[in-house]
A = this chain, B = another copy of it.
Amino acid sequence: MYGRYTQELGVYAKEEAARLRDGGVRDGSGLRRNTSVRSRTADLLEYEKDPCAKCQVCASRCQKFLISRVGEDWIFLILLGLLMALVSWVMDYAIAFCQEAQKWMHGGLDSNMLLQYIAWVSYPVVLITFSAGFTQILAPQAVGSGIPEMKTILRGVVLKEYLTFKTFVAKVIGLTCALGSGMPLGKEGPFVHVASLCAALLSKFMAAVFGGIYMNELRNTEMLSAACAVGVGCCFAAPIGGVLFSIEVTSTFFAVRNYWRGFFAATFSAFVFRLLTVSNQEEETITALFKTRFRLDFPFDLQELPAFAILGIACGFGGALFVYLNRHIVECMRKQKTINKFLLRKRLVYPALVTLLVSTLTFPPGFGQFMAGQLTQHESLVALFDNRTWCRQGVAEEFDYISHHHAWKHPQVNIFITLILFIVMKFWMSAVATTMPVPCGAFMPVFLIGAAFGRLVGEVMATMFPDGIHGDVYPIVPGGYAVVGAAALSGAVTHTVSTAVIVFELTGQISHILPVMIAVILANAVAQALQPSLYDSIIRIKKLPYLPELGMGHHEKYNIRVEDIMVRDVRFITLNSSYRDLQEMLLTGHLKTLALVECRDSMILLGSIERLQLQSLLSLQLSRQRRLEYLRQLAQDNGAHDPLPSLTSDSTPSSPCAHVHLNSPTNTSARQVVRFLVSTQYLKPFFFFFLTLVSIPLQIAEWEDQQLDQLVDFKNCKIDPAPFQLVEQTSLHKTHTIFSLLGLGHAYVTSMGRLVGVVSLKELRKAIEGSVTVTGVKVRPPLASFRDSGNTTSVSEVTELHKLCMRHRGLSLNGSWHIAYCQNSEPLCE
């Protein structure tokens, strides 16, 4: 009987091994806790392929394709430009169609006010709700502007699902619906995201078809930054402004060698985009999107410059207020728990309510008549940039009511009132509307508000100086003020100067360059002093892993040094670490890389190892193959005798380990059961069958324990032999620069080769955002150059070095070997 059982045991062992191979021993429910170490270990081994093998394949392909790299860059950029221009044009067409449909409904129902109102309101509500629902279901990542996310991605952080085909579809369709509804939403921010999506998908497609260069990660980043330029460029048909805006908005340090890529792609895209308009017989030739016709010979008087400056400063305050309002709305709703709960459950209620409110207020026969409610953004902008004066000496002029000017002239209400109402209403409406969970940007609404504000100032100036400042020769052009205001307010909200270039390209005139530049710079100065940019504000709201900029005014930052913010309790492994240490390290920490030091005493940093590598080391040690081998061995050994003795007497070959694994908490309880069973000798006959079943997994657990107690063999492990190192004295400013420049995620802090701490993005962000307060720290000159870091040896370092010297000397002078160096370098027994 024994014989039969033991023979069956061999079969069982094989089955068990197969079972282990397939899915661990989870079905053996009674033994689950015993093998939990194994299954937890298995959970850690979620690595896919060897990244290096992939690398090798890639390298050989690269060799083949490298020669034609530049050519492929051109082709890629042309394709990207073409695609984006098409997307932009089709979207614009669809949006215009949607808006026409609303107008047609509104016009056709003018006999019945109620019907008219219902049509006017329900149309956008349906569109926005559909947009919100569609986005929510398909890809929630498509919500919002996308610029904050792109900023984070270009910073080097991988945001999952932000660059997939699903997101692309959701963003394009959601955006079309949202803009078609006529809400005060923008196309520009989302378009940056759409272009990036396009570039990422195109890269993937090209990589699948042609392979080679398209697989390179850094190349993809370069293409993404070009895509951002394309996004802005083909949205406004403003290639130069697009490139500059995308640089300002997404980069911290810009590689000038990528400049031409952006220019080329954005120009091509803008060209095709405008060409499509021409080919569609809409226009005669390629000109600007919002062409103005200001006079060239005397665009503005020098005495008007103070007015432009004041306009700029006011726009700066306005921009800061907009950012504050936008953030405040989101934060308010988050804080109100009941509202928050309700909105989380019924996600479509909020956008529907907001749309209802906004469209009710803009209903043309209602309140909308006082704020040009019937005009679309495009129509409003064309009217605002008009080169004629709307009112002279306070009385509205009677010029020909072409295009959309009549919407601004209410028979009873002054043009000033209309403009003020328009500005105030649109201001809060835009701030609210951009918080809706649909794909939308805030640039265009802000641009429009700025234009209206500029027009208001211009009309006031025209009223004050009806004959121009220098007599009747050159009257004031309020349209110029509108251009300046638009650039200034959008510049203030986004903290960019390149909106100036965008307005020149949008209007096709550069004659107002000086007032625009003055206003934009002043607006930026004011807004930057008061609030973060809209995109940084959204990054904070969304808690994206982005490294904030060092503010210009926050000079206490210069006082902080790395030693003030670093984590001193670094997770490290030594050359003497056992696999158990490794396992513990992997189970308790969640760091992506671990430091490798020489020994616990010297702490000399040898390199860093990726978590993945360590996991594979561990899995290799406890691999199925070795496990199977062990089981086979076991089966052979147990071919003739009872498997129990090794269990009852704990006489495994690795006796020192046995003590350890009995004390290990993970498999204690099952073991206690077995012990109880064994100690109560008289029960033995009854439970024998059960025990036989149990013993194999137990032996495997034992074997695992033995394996874990071995020292780690780093031979097959990829080690980064020179991870980035900082010194304790490095200033926060310099650390920030280095992290931004190199896109680091973490850096080790060393002192004379010894690992003393680690700084990650998290600590740095905390420090910058001001949660670290340092008192009594010496002020260091801000960002001393990279080269003179040699002058920063502290007292502690000198002592350290001295100790090191003394050790060396004391021994080498005595002619003896170097004994005392690693005195405490016992193997780790944590």
A87-95, A286-294, A325-333, A674-682 - interface stretch: A286-294
Say yes or no: A809 contacts B711, CB within 8 Å.
yes
Report A289-311 CB contacts with B as 1/0, cut-off 8 Å. 00101001111111000000000
One complex includes copies of this chain to the number of: 2
Q: Is A260 within 8 A of B524, CB to CB? A: yes
Q: Which of A240, A302, A783, A812 has the most CB of B within 10 A?
A: A240
Interface string of A726-752 (1 = CB under 8 A from B): 110000000000100111110000111
Query: Bound complex: CA of A751 vs CA of B719, how far in Å?
Result: 10
**In whole Å, how far is A386's beta carbon from the nearest beta carbon of chain B?**
14
Chain B contacts of A726 at CB under 8 A?
722
A66 vs B560: C-alpha distance when bound (angstroms): 14
Given contacts A240-B500, A555-B67, contact A275 B255 (CB under 8 A): no
CA distance A780 to B52 in the complex (A): 11
Interface contacts beyond A286-B302, A738-B742: sample of 15 additional A-B pairs, CB < 8 Å, sorted by A: A62-B558, A66-B779, A69-B555, A240-B513, A247-B256, A252-B257, A253-B254, A267-B518, A291-B296, A508-B511, A576-B808, A714-B801, A720-B789, A720-B793, A817-B820
Q: How far is the CB of A402 from chain B (nearest CB, A)?
A: 16
The 5 closest A-B pairs by CB, nearest first: A720-B790, A818-B822, A63-B779, A66-B555, A722-B725
Measured between alpha carbons, how far is A791 from B60 in the docked complex, in Å?
Answer: 16
Specify which chain B residues have a CB less than 8 angstroms from the CB of A783 in the assembled complex: 216, 218
Alpha-carbon distance A575/B802, docked complex (angstroms): 9
Nearest B-chain residue to A271, judged by Cβ: B514
Which of the 9-residue segments A7-15, A598-606, A650-658 touches chain B? A598-606
A808 near B718 (CB under 8 angstroms)?
A: no
10 intermolecular pairs with C-beta atoms under 8 Å apart: A51-B791, A221-B785, A240-B501, A252-B256, A575-B804, A713-B805, A714-B798, A715-B802, A716-B798, A818-B823
CA distance A607 to B728 in the complex (A): 14
Q: A781-B58, A797-B719, A818-B821 are in contact. Are A70 and B552 (CB under 8 A)?
A: yes
Chain B nearest Cβ from A8, distance in angstroms: 41
A510 at the interface (CB under 8 A from B): yes
Binding site for B on A (CB under 8 A): 51-52, 55, 58-60, 62-63, 66-67, 69-70, 156, 213, 215-219, 221, 239-240, 244, 247-248, 251-257, 259-260, 263-264, 267, 270-271, 274-275, 278, 284-288, 291, 293, 296-302, 497, 500-501, 504-505, 508-511, 513-514, 517-518, 521, 524, 549-550, 552-553, 555, 558, 575-576, 593, 598-599, 604-610, 613, 711, 713-722, 725-727, 738, 741-745, 750-753, 778-793, 797-798, 801-802, 804-805, 808-809, 812-813, 817-823, 825-827
Chain B hits for A808, CB < 8 A? 575-576, 598-599, 822, 825
Q: Indicate if the CB atoms of A753 and B790 lie closer than 8 Å.
A: no
Give A805 to B753 CA distance when docked, in angstroms: 18
Contact A752 B818 (CB under 8 A): no
A827 and B812: CB pair below 8 A? yes
Are A59 and B781 touching (Cβ within 8 A)?
A: yes
Q: Are the C-beta atoms of B721 and A751 separated by less than 8 Å? A: yes
Query: Is the pair A809, B271 in contact by a Cβ cutoff of 8 Å?
Result: no
- Contact: A251 with B260, CB < 8 Å? no
